[in-house]
Amino acid sequence: MAKKIPLKIAIAEYPHTSAIRDGSIPIEGVDPEFVTVVPQIAAYRRMVRQVEFDVCEIAPTTYMIARAYGSPFVALPIFVTRHFHHGGLLVRPELGIKHPKDLEGRKVGVRAYSVTTGVWTRGIFIDEFGMDTSKVTWVVDDEEHVQQLKLPANVEHAPKGTSLFAMMKNGELAAGFAANAGIGRSGDPQGGWKTEDTSMWPDLFPDAHEREAEWYKRTGIYPMHATIVVKDSVLAEHPWVARSLHDAFDRAKQDWLVKMRSGELDGANEKKYKKISQIVGPDPLPYGMEANLPTILKLEDTAWKQGLIPQRVALENAWVDPLKV
């Protein structure tokens, strides 16, 4: 590794990744060219459609679908955003929706059917509450990242020029996912989304935090939302890159954890992960295969059961353990 190799890298800037992006924590053996894509979701599409980057942060469900269709990049167990999913589904209060099964026979808004938030939440509703997801009409207003994906018959597109937020407001939807996953924004995905105020709609589970804590204690599943992927060709020629990436991300995270615990950093990101730490323990962003294997297997199984992947991909063909390279 005497000579550094150039890699084009598209990762978002978080407090726990900023030291990598600004170069204060180097990626050993790598001369990185960081590409800023705003929003990062646009990089997902560029990666799965054009394989534009050598290293990219991407939604894990998007990755699993892309890999199942033969995309030439592989994932590392480095998850830079995470949260639970018993909360975040907003309902129209006058409909008396108290249980996931109450959604059967109704329309629910989600940005795209394969959006990871929707996949995790549907999985919980199916496994924990017996909801028949095929009896719900899922209304989407964006295209899927992976163009080969065939959507089930109970997915329909919102009318052109109409946002999920407007449909929820007009009573055309019984429920919808909050924030960027659904009804929390409106506008043109090419020209930029506008954030909408959804405070008039209550969460299906007002006690979501307590439910999430119980679920994690019982299952050990901690949903992930952003995965680092690397081109197959890069790792074929330079397998050590996996370990270099892991070590850089881990060092940046450890430094961030010290600052978070001391109170030096106390922004929205830190408040979020401090709350999650009450459930998962002192490291709210665990990296590595051993710590994440149950969650990886659960998401893959969930994607399979929801018809998102055409075939199951063997673990060793979908994930590289950077500590064993």
pLDDT per residue over 136-158, tens digit each? 999 999 999 999 999 999 999 99
pLDDT at 193: 64
| Confidence tier at 185 by pLDDT (50, 70, 90) | confident
Judge whether residue 163 has pLDDT over 70. yes
What is the location of CATH 3.40.190.10 in the chain? 5-84+222-324
Evaluate whether 61 touches 299 at the Cβ level (below 8 Å).
yes
pLDDT tens column, 83-96 = 999 999 999 999 99
User: For all residues of the chain together, what is the average pLDDT?
Assistant: 95
143: left (phi over 0), alpha (psi -120 to 50) or beta: beta
Please report, for residues 201, 270, 275, 290, the alpha-carbon distance to residue 224 in angstroms, rounded to integers and kept in the order given: 26, 17, 16, 15
> pTM to 2 decimals?
0.95
Evaluate whether 237 touches 48 at the Cβ level (below 8 Å).
no
β strands within 168-217, DSSP E: 175-177, 185-188, 192-195
pLDDT at 194: 78
CATH 3.20.10.10 fits 5-84+222-324, yes or no: no
- Quick one: what percent of the chain has pLDDT higher than 70? 97
Judge whether residue 190 has pLDDT over 60. no
Q: Is the dihedral of CA 133, 134, 139, 143 positive or negative?
A: positive
pLDDT tens column, 247-292 = 999 999 999 999 999 999 999 999 999 999 999 999 999 999 999 9
pLDDT at 179: 87
The better pLDDT of the pair 185, 142 is held by 142
| Confidence tier at 192 by pLDDT (50, 70, 90) | low
pLDDT at 3: 86
| Confidence tier at 2 by pLDDT (50, 70, 90) | low
Evaluate whether 44 touches 59 at the Cβ level (below 8 Å).
yes
- Quick one: what percent of the chain has pLDDT higher than 90? 91
Cis peptide before 39 (omega within 30 of 0): yes
pLDDT at 258: 97
> What average pLDDT does the segment 202-230 reach?
97
pLDDT at 187: 66
φ, ψ at 53 (rounded to 5°): -115, 155
| Confidence tier at 188 by pLDDT (50, 70, 90) | low
CATH 1.10.10 fits 89-216, yes or no: no
> What average pLDDT does the segment 286-307 reach?
96
pLDDT at 189: 53
Judge whether residue 184 has pLDDT over 90. no
Judge whether residue 1 has pLDDT over 60. no
- For the chain, give the number of residues: 325
pLDDT tens column, 28-77 = 999 999 999 998 999 999 999 999 999 999 999 999 999 999 999 999 99
